[in-house]
């Protein structure tokens, strides 16, 4: 379903138009441990006065799938991509964790308090002016 999905969908990470833009204007920079590919504008600058940067996701196009080192590079926090030898991760960078929103593993303050045995108000009374 590879070329078919590139022709007719945008949520799979890469479309035929995106592939053409990368071929014409992009320069391959590297790949992360999840299989996402990173590119930078080969010539000229973008509207912010800096070369544009792109990511092509291996799976679903989800921004939380970008690891911390690549996130910093994508958002111009550093000029060194994590694939270069000189790159040193910052001490405060945590290991990447996926976004669990909408799953059973998502954070819920009510469930967290309940699991610790703390009393949780079971009644909710709406405010009425």
Q: What is the pLDDT of residues 4-22, one digit of tens each?
A: 666 566 555 566 666 777 7
Three-point CA angle 74, 80, 86, nearest 5°? 150
Q: Say how far apart CA 27 and CA 40 lie, in whole Å.
A: 5
Q: How far is CA 25 from CA 15, 18, 19, 54, 82, in A?
A: 15, 10, 10, 11, 22
* Inside any domain, residue 108: no
Q: Say how far apart CA 50 and CA 40 lie, in whole Å.
A: 10
Using the predicted structure, report yes or no on whether residue 38 has a pLDDT greater than 60: yes
Q: What is the pLDDT of residue 61?
A: 76
* Inside any domain, residue 117: no
Q: Which positions ≥6 away from 9 have C-beta within 8 Å?
A: 15
Tokens of 22: 């990368």
Q: What is the pLDDT of residue 1?
A: 45
What range defines the domain where residue 11 resides?
A: 2-96
- What average pLDDT does range 65-81 have in this prediction? 86
- Percentage of the chain exceeding pLDDT 90: 2
* Inside any domain, residue 111: no
Return the higher-pLDDT residue of 81 and 46: 81
* Inside any domain, residue 120: no
Q: What is the pLDDT of residue 11?
A: 58
Average pLDDT, the chain: 76
* Inside any domain, residue 113: no
The number of domains in the chain is 1
């Amino acid at each position: 379903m590879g070329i078919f999905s590139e022709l007719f969908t945008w949520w799979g990470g890469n479309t035929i138009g995106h592939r053409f833009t990368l071929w014409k204007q992009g320069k391959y920079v590297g790949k992360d441990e999840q299989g996402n590919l990173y590119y930078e504008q080969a010539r000229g600058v973008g509207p912010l006065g800096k070369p544009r940067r792109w990511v092509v996701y291996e799976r679903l196009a989800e921004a939380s799938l970008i690891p911390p080192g690549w996130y910093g590079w994508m958002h111009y926090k550093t000029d060194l991509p994590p694939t270069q030898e000189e790159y040193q991760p910052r001490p405060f960078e945590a290991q990447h964790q996926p976004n669990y929103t909408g799953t059973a593993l998502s954070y819920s303050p009510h469930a967290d308090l309940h699991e610790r045995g703390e009393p949780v108000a079971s009644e909710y009374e709406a405010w009425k002016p």
